[in-house]
Structure 1
């Protein structure tokens, strides 16, 4: 005698033959699975967040964020409304006790009728690895604390692009805050200020709780451009507020740079900076790739804003020109992973090169689903391309844990009813110990990247 489940959740007896019982159970499983899947409805855009009036003293630091600034150094950035505030950072490893002091630089900018506060950039260090530091900006105001990344693997990165300032942005930031990560990676489109400059200030306040505690490494997107023909060049606000270690990496522009942390070399490229073969960015990329030591940094990861591999109907083909010029360089250098934004959805490719799967190509991930006000890009090209492994139009964030020199674990966490639900994951094996390295030596020579 066998028992089958009733709709009420209670079991009843049955005398059905075993084969028919198996069929009934299969049907029940399929129906239940379909019902659970159907329960998930793609979220609609949420309203822009409202920010209360801030009545802090003009000399108090605001919009504090940190970024890596070369080996064992960190750049602390903040804004004050008082032009006389000093660009100093006091710091130490004991709360309230600051054994070290560093002085930096400051700048400001005007944009039509808007004038920014005083923007401070101060590099502190050398710092111990994997250590909590307590610091104070400008000699007054609250104490902040940061944690430096580890010197060796494992290391964890949080990844989210196209953030903006909506209710979904807040959900994404809340979920990232629950992740035990060491560095945040942002492939473009930060504040969605779009010429309205005070939105840069509200964005800085929104991300301060996270960005003041872990380094945020960012690159520019189209919403950072804010150019006005004959009046304003592009990226003035972005460059003034989010200074990255371009000088430390030999770049001439804040729009593209590189950095190393633990066992990974990161290259942040500019989708909106010149990238043809005669451009400064192209020459810098070749130089930077030629200096990568895969024994010291076995992982090679690239970020930029506009994806090269995209099966969403949104922004289709916009990255093709950059891909045509730069993909041969990344392929020859055995780049492991490419992270992009711009398309407001999630997509992960197989290892791919030149438009098709290639075991020696990079894994491309589009993660422009941080929560912006423009909503999701929900229309995909069908059938799904052979190189596309997983795609979904939902808000969310990614986590990359590089475990050792050969293996990393990637996971994507969908914002489902304000809870981070892991919806895609994969183990990625570095190309450093594969046969691809030796196979591509002739390509490196052809590109004049090795003698």
Structure 2
């Protein structure tokens, strides 16, 4: 009887109707207190996945002679392993970055706590590696910025027992002011040094100056992702696998038409996905394809026209985007219509940015749109097993992470859609 009840609960898909409440006003930029530290002291520490059982540790020092060394082990203060990595730096107009270190450590045991130190000095940090198998929990928040609402969102995420943070673009909102990249790194360090942060670029990462500076120099220098490990030639698009999930991070601001390198790479990456090993397939990018908010309406149309057929043929379970400063969840949809073998699209660009919320929606609400609300918040995705995942969105209401929307999602592989589309995918991948 208990098993039947559990299965019944798992199969129910529920959407909570938002309660009426008075939204709090916008908040000003958040400033951390400044503390003077030695020039070789590691700062802005964050970690990211870097291939099977490996983690990339990134930090910055003001001392250009500081070594790119990470000491690590499974006991506090006892480092039985050491790794040396690479470093870079960049100049941007009158700004010169510190020395940016990227060091890959591993192999690491799954679901284990490691203690590590950067550059042979400074404080000891602690990280937990993701599990080898399901279940796994992802925290999701895009368009973070550095406001009081950002701090509230980060505090709420810190209460979540998550394994990996997914961020679909717009990190620091530096907008050409390079010291804002530094303040963002300090702001997120407590969380980003303890769990891997996997990010992709948004429009606020572009920072190009015609004839003087190419875009993304700051983003690419500071937030190196495992693009080389996934066969990509650009930090703007890559993929990784973790605990039975294949995740593709695409670039809304990299070329994406059928003649582009990103399109070619995407076809090749999809051809390698093994749904027996990774039954769940997720995709993230910045500009949403399904958006019923008046903000940024239609901006993702060209990318959608080029790439949605590929994602649909590959039976992508869930697509996560940002850009619109509000929350919206779709039904399973493809080519603008509700489709039981389509993807669930979620817009979650409501992390706490300085520009405020996008309050205006198109009415009547499109048939494919299931839930929408203009509030700051974050999402949590717990993939329970190969067939079921639980998604919840938590509104920042008076500094309490109020769960305002939740739904059980059934994987497409368990519904027969993957087998149904296998020939379609094969044909698309073989097309030159």
Structure 1 vs Structure 2 CA RMSD: 1.3
CA distance in 2, matches of 1:144, 1:346: 33
What is the match of residue 117 of structure 2? 136
Q: Which of residues 346, 353, 367 in structure 2 aligns to 1:386?
A: 367
Residue 330 (structure 2) pairs with residue 349 (structure 1) = yes
> Is 1:358 matched with 2:339?
yes
- 3-state SS of the aligned residue for 1:238? helix
Aligned partner of 1:13 in structure 2 is none
Preserved CA contact (<8 Å) 1:165 1:371: yes
**2:207 is matched with which residue?**
226
Quick check: 1:431 aligned with 2:412?
A: yes
Out of 75, 97, 109, the residue aligned to residue 90 of structure 2 is: 109
2:4 maps to what in 1? Answer: none
2:180 and 2:429 map into 1 onto residues whose CA distance is 44
User: Which of 411, 425, 428 is matched with 1:444 structurally?
Assistant: 425
1:155 to 122, 125, 136: 136
Give the whole-Å Cα distance in 2 for the aligned partners of 1:64 and 1:72: 19
Matched ranges for 1:81-96 at <5 A:
81-96=62-77
Tell me if 1:336 matches 2:341.
no
Query: SS of the residue aligned with 2:103?
Result: strand
Q: Which has the larger radius of gyration?
A: 1
**What CA deviation, in whole Å up to 9, does each residue of 1:316-347 have, x standing for no partner?**
00000000000000000000000000000000
Tell me the distance in 1 between the aligned counterparts of 2:312 and 2:430.
Answer: 12
Determine the structure 1 residue equivalent to 2:256.
Answer: 275
TM-score, length-scaled by structure 1: 0.91
Q: Secondary structure at the match of 2:221?
A: helix
> Match for 1:422 among 398, 403, 406?
403
- Measured in 1, the distance between the counterparts of 2:106 and 2:124 equals 18
Name the counterpart of 1:299: 280
- Take 1:113 and 1:52, find their aligned partners in 2: how far apart are those partners? 24
Name the structure 2 match of 1:71.
52
Residue 307 of structure 2 aligns to a residue in which SS? helix
Closer, same or farther in 2 for the Cα pair 1:294/1:450, shift >3 Å? farther
2-side partners of 1:448 and 1:70: how far apart?
Answer: 24
- Residue 385 of structure 2 corresponds to 404
The yes-or-no answer on 1:186 pairing with 2:167 is: yes
Determine the C-alpha separation between the residues in 2 that align with 1:153 and 1:119: 34
Runs of 4 or more above 6 Å deviation: none
* 1:127 partnered with 2:118: no
Q: Structure 2-normalised TM-score?
A: 0.95
Displacement, 1:194? 0.1
Question: Please, which of 217, 220, 226 is the counterpart of residue 245 of structure 1?
Answer: 226
Distance in 2 of aligned mates of 1:291 and 1:115 = 41
Matches within 5 A, 1:187-206: 187-206=168-187
Q: Hey, what's the Cα distance between the residues in 1 that align with 2:324 and 2:31?
A: 25
2:350 alignment partner, one of 358, 366, 369 = 369
Q: Which moved more, 1:47-56 or 1:297-306?
A: 47-56
* Cross-structure match for 2:3: none
Once the 2 structures are TM-superposed, how far is the Cα of residue 437 of structure 1 from its aligned partner? 1.9
1:42–1:393 contact (8 Å) kept in structure 2: no
Q: Any idea what SS the aligned residue of 2:208 has?
A: coil
Unaligned runs of 5+ in 1: 1-33
Is the 8 Å Cα contact of residues 44 and 375 (structure 1) preserved in structure 2?
no
Which residue in the other structure is 1:169 paired with?
A: 150
Matched, 1:286 2:270: no
**Residue 311 of structure 1 aligns with which residue?**
292
Instruction: For residues 240-276 of structure 1, give each alpha carbon's deviation from its aligned partner in whole angstroms, at most 9, with x where no partner exists.
Output: 0000000000000000000000010000000000000
Bigger mean CA deviation after superposition, 337-346 or 433-442: 433-442
Aligned residues: 416
Please give the secondary structure, in 2, of the residue aligned with 1:312: coil
Match of 1:54 in 2: 35
Query: 1:53 and 1:445 mapped to 2: Cα distance?
Result: 56
1:51, distance to aligned residue in structure 2 (A): 3.0
